[in-house]
Structure 1
Amino acid sequence: MKKSLILTFFILTAIFAQDKIWIFFTDKCLPPDKSLVDSIARMTLSERAIRRREKLNIPFDEYDVPVCKAYIDSIKRLGYNIVNVSRWLNAVSVIPPQRQSISLSSLSFVRKTQPVARFRQRITPIKTMERVSRIRYWGQSMLQAMMVGADIMHQRGYRGRGVLIGMLDSGYKIDVPPFDSLVASGRLVAKYDFVHHDTSVGYDSINGDWDPMGFVHGTMTLSCIAADIPDQIMGIAPEASIALAKTEIVDSVIEPGGVVDYERRIEEDNWVAGIEWLDSIGVDIVTSSLGYTYFTTDGWGYSFSDLDGNTAVTTIAADLAAKKGIAVFNSAGNQRMDYSWGHIVTPADGDSVCAVGAVNGFYELAPFSSPGPTADGRIKPDLSALGDNAVVWQPFTNSVGFSDGTSFSCPIVAATAALVLQALRDKGFTTHGWELIELMKSTADMADSPNNDYGWGVPKAPVAAGILDAIYILVVDSISGQPLTNAVVIVNDDTLFTDGRGRATKYISEEGIYNIKASCNGFLSKTITINHRRGRIHRIAVKLT
């Protein structure tokens, strides 16, 4: 048995080490009048996906029609091994035969070919849990919840119920305590492994998995959304329904001196297949904690000029998902200090994708969080959340831990969107995915001055959902214009302190007069008075001299 497993390991490693290529087709074998598009599309989508399209008045189109079977069969007969099929790209990813009897360019139905991009990224080390204060119910995860207003949303009964979130990651360990309620309630609606092509998204050596570390990263990102152990760790949307796609491989790497390290091997065709599958089952939100930058020498490379929102394969697929009504969130990346790159990653460059950056507990920019802009000059990231010392579930120790990365700020923001979406639906609103993202951006705490570090700032769920209004306060030095951190801000009888950006947020619900007094050591205090009316957001800059 042991020899059999070892042999399987080497065979599968050899298969997945082969270079894959994309083959893009010219058409989908439809009649000229496209009369069959609607009926064919309905056969390929779930009832939930169809309902989402109908509610949002999104028509079915050729992107919903499967790739022409005759073309796929022709490619197979030439000896190509089909790996993934993309109806959105009208393409297949394949492993070519060792000897090609005919050139693909000579086939009339082949539009173009290109290599499948691969990217290797080291796994972020998991930190040991330090002693931090706990608050009942939220446990260790209180800070990341309060920063986005999830604590208020939960108090009002909004915990993500009825919202389906799809995840793209490297694997997931489901049989751990924080996900007991997710599984028991039947809210884990679907799962699929696009690396090994089975429904086991954890480590399953019997079915040929060779990446025993694969489930660690995905388990941690999932815990940011769905963890449910009161007084220890709570996800932002613990009552949301979840669909899991495993799209990444985790390989072992032998460092000098024999030290074993691990890295994620990301292949873009798996990601594309995953997001199309999530669309077909009807997800409302997609969160992806991966990204593509430069690639291995045996793959297809992108340069910064390709981050224009229209070039990278994953970006094209992400934008198409957004057109289908899905709110797509992707990590901005951890490449700020990577001097060979230093930008956001794809598909975060998509104009319909919400790229998520990372801050620490003082709202200061995380040193690794990738900056914008895109190649065509658009501001990125779009939003930010806690990603420096984010609280996660660590599957190896089966306990709460810390980790760093936009990999964790992204699911926090996506789960925040689920709370907002639930609240909007309860009010009778029908909201397109991109409208949801725009709403969160316009009500975030830096929407008055977005930039290529924080984007539009940290989202505030109660404000985006219309449950509470807000006064956003910025305290600055009147001479230098620099923000003043740890300044005291008194709003009527409540005392606040500015964060690492010189900002403070006061949620309000009552109409009337609000006096805002700001003071800081070495400066004269200043008071500003506003007259609040329901439904307004106040953005106030207090300049101290």
Structure 2
Amino acid sequence: MRKIFTILTLSFSLIVAAQTELVFVFFKDKPNKAAFFSNPLSELTQKSLDRRTRLGIALTDQDAPIEPAYISNIQNLGFTVTDYSKWLNGVAVNATPAQIQILSQQSYVDHVESFVRNPNGGKRAQKIEKFKEFDEEFSNREPMNDFNYGNSLAQIEQINLRQLHIAGFAGSGISIAVIDTGFPYVDTGSAFRRIRTKSRIKDTYNFVSKHTDVYSTSLNSHGAMCLGIIGGYIDGTFVGSAPNADFYLYASENDDVEIPEEQLYWIEAAEQADRKGVDIISTSLGYTEFDDSRYDYTYADMNGATTFISRGAQIASEKGIFVLIAAGNEGQSSWHYISAPADAPGVFTIGAVTSSGASSGFSSYGPNSAGVIKPDAAARGTNTYYAYNNSSGYGSGTSFATPLAAGGVACFMQSLPNTTSINQLKQKLRQDASLYPNPNNQQGYGILNFYKTYQTLTVNDGRRIRVKIYPNPAKDFINISTGQRITSVEIYDFLGRLIKSDSESKLNISDLAKGSYLIKIKAGNQETVEQFIKD
């Protein structure tokens, strides 16, 4: 009887769905925008305004709140309104064709756009799942980052991030919004104790359920794992790519269904991130198909301007937020290509590579359908380690390559506090990646190289000292030539641990084991981190 009842319920739901469709009602204007412009703090935090000032981004009508009277008017017409966007200036409702006509005729409505792309459903070429279902689950500067990386060392080194950590840049003062499923055990697990005790979780909200709880153990763990790749810390076992960053945790993905409303949940989360003044958004979600096939997209729609979520992601990037999006895990499926919002031209799309630097077979292909090179760059996505609850594990997917890269961006941004152009930072990261100037369709410009980019941007600005270390390789002694008086020297082993400090230009290294080491050299207000080999 239960099976029959379930079938009947499903059939009824499909009939109702056929009668209505999700639409977005675009409003003509924002009548009260003058009040916002006279008092921007009524809508945006000072941190958000400061980011705009630093990057030279002017306030626009998009930043003003949506007109409350318009929402009330829609509700008075009999519609339920739970999701809306000030950036797009409108609300989402479910409506019949006749109701759409009524909505279009309202004096304050500009136009109504349906989420439906295939009115008759149509044949589906390939079921595209959420990235999480493919993931295998088994100054602001702090003076020293003496980390024992453990399992995460190889993925940190592949993107040349350990040297940036040792230089003192581990994400301090940089805020990252992780927009994902949920974050179970982040409020209790020892893998996240460090960010909790240092009060680095700044805001939480579940845009699916409309409440602040993002920690429920009933939520999918994908978001927590992605957070763990950035901010997790287990001494001697795991260090995230930006363990000193601040975090804003937003749930936008409903694990039980695949519905077009999830695109709006994401946009709402991105708008909240903007209000709070975050610097970076990291998202490992993508959309092409839904439970109701009327809403399915095609590759032609992956042009960065068609899907609602890609429009929102593009606006977020135009607000000065560094938006990183996973390319997707469809490289070996008939779909093959990136999904939304990875197709947005302004986002920094991340592909996945193996430990050897080869493209991960599952990593989705670009470009977007308008010909924009995607992905932009790549990081480790095969057997990538993450911290979760009380331990660490490893899994595969562009879902994991993306937060790894996002943490690197946070450290990089911390090292350049006076940055005035996010687009220039993106371009420099592309230019210093492993495949530049010859990108391919799975890695873009290749594996990121954060310390190389830091070096190229700071060598002439008076912050980085020029040095010569010789002999290299060395057996008993190394000499350091700077042309200036050395104030301190620190040697770190391959795990990232500080093992020797001095202030001399000639160092005895005879007691060191054979291998590769990093040496941090300071002379006055200048410094550098270099590598040498003990023979």
* Shared fold, TM over 0.5: yes
Q: Specify which of 406, 409, 414 is matched with residue 414 of structure 1.
A: 406
Change (3 A) 1:298 1:510: farther
Change (3 A) 1:136 1:433: closer
Pairwise CA distance, 1:187: 1.1
Equivalent residues in 2 for 1:491-502, closer than 5 Å: none
Equivalent residues in 2 for 1:24-423, closer than 5 Å: 24-30=25-31, 35-36=34-35, 38-39=37-38, 41-96=40-95, 103-110=102-109, 111-115=111-115, 120-121=129-130, 123-124=133-134, 126-128=136-138, 137-173=148-184, 174=186, 175-203=188-216, 212=218, 214-251=219-256, 267-339=262-334, 341-395=335-389, 398-423=390-415
Runs of 4+ aligned residues of structure 1 deviating over 4 Å after TM superposition are 17-20, 34-37, 95-102, 116-120, 263-266, 467-470, 491-495
Pairwise CA distance, 1:68: 1.5
Contact 2:191 2:388 in 1 (8 A): no
Q: SS in structure 1 opposite 2:151?
A: coil
Change (3 A) 1:469 1:301: same
Q: SS in structure 2 opposite 1:66?
A: coil
Greater percentage in strand:
1
Q: SS in structure 2 opposite 1:85?
A: strand
Contact 1:248 1:266 in 2 (8 A): no
Rounded Cα–Cα distance in structure 2 between residues aligned with 1:80 and 1:355: 37
Per-residue CA deviations over 1:429-473 (Å, capped at 9, x if unaligned) read 223332222221112122121121211111111112227999xxx
Rounded Cα–Cα distance in structure 1 between residues aligned with 2:177 and 2:395: 22
Rounded Cα–Cα distance in structure 2 between residues aligned with 1:273 and 1:114: 18
Give the letter for the 1:52 counterpart: R
Change (3 A) 1:94 1:41: farther
Rounded Cα–Cα distance in structure 2 between residues aligned with 1:330 and 1:101: 33
Give the letter for the 2:112 counterpart: K
Give the letter for the 1:44 counterpart: E
Give the letter for the 2:69 counterpart: A
| C-alpha RMSD over aligned residues | 3.2
Change (3 A) 1:168 1:299: farther
Contact 1:325 1:433 in 2 (8 A): yes
Contact 1:28 1:65 in 2 (8 A): no
Q: Specify which of 406, 431, 438 is matched with residue 442 of structure 1.
A: 431
Give the letter for the 1:187 counterpart: R
Contact 2:134 2:329 in 1 (8 A): no
Contact 2:384 2:395 in 1 (8 A): yes
- TM-score for both structures, normalised by structure 1: 0.73
Per-residue CA deviations over 1:175-223 (Å, capped at 9, x if unaligned) read 211211111111100010001011101227xxxxxxx2x3410111001
Q: SS in structure 1 opposite 2:81?
A: strand
Q: Which moved more, 1:115-124 or 1:73-82?
A: 115-124
Pairwise CA distance, 1:96: 4.8
Rounded Cα–Cα distance in structure 1 between residues aligned with 2:436 and 2:276: 34
Q: SS in structure 2 opposite 1:198?
A: coil
Contact 1:30 1:36 in 2 (8 A): no
Change (3 A) 1:368 1:417: same
Per-residue CA deviations over 1:109-150 (Å, capped at 9, x if unaligned) read 22113137997536135354xxxxxx9700111111001112
Change (3 A) 1:98 1:216: farther
Change (3 A) 1:299 1:240: farther
Rounded Cα–Cα distance in structure 1 between residues aligned with 2:482 and 2:21: 60
Rounded Cα–Cα distance in structure 2 between residues aligned with 1:150 and 1:337: 30
Contact 1:119 1:265 in 2 (8 A): no
Pairwise CA distance, 1:44: 0.7
Contact 1:322 1:434 in 2 (8 A): no
Q: SS in structure 2 opposite 1:82?
A: coil
Rounded Cα–Cα distance in structure 1 between residues aligned with 2:137 and 2:28: 50
**2:443: which partner in 1?**
454
Contact 1:78 1:100 in 2 (8 A): no
Change (3 A) 1:394 1:163: closer
Change (3 A) 1:467 1:378: closer
Q: SS in structure 1 opposite 2:387?
A: strand
Change (3 A) 1:97 1:393: farther
Rounded Cα–Cα distance in structure 2 between residues aligned with 1:59 and 1:36: 16
- TM-score for both structures, normalised by structure 2: 0.75
Pairwise CA distance, 1:297: 2.6
Q: SS in structure 2 opposite 1:465?
A: helix
Q: SS in structure 1 opposite 2:210?
A: coil
Rounded Cα–Cα distance in structure 1 between residues aligned with 2:292 and 2:366: 25
Per-residue CA deviations over 1:141-184 (Å, capped at 9, x if unaligned) read 11110011121111111110000011110000212112111111
Give the letter for the 1:68 counterpart: E
Contact 2:79 2:93 in 1 (8 A): yes
Q: Which moved more, 1:35-44 or 1:311-320?
A: 35-44
Rounded Cα–Cα distance in structure 1 between residues aligned with 2:422 and 2:135: 33
Contact 1:288 1:410 in 2 (8 A): yes
Contact 2:36 2:42 in 1 (8 A): no
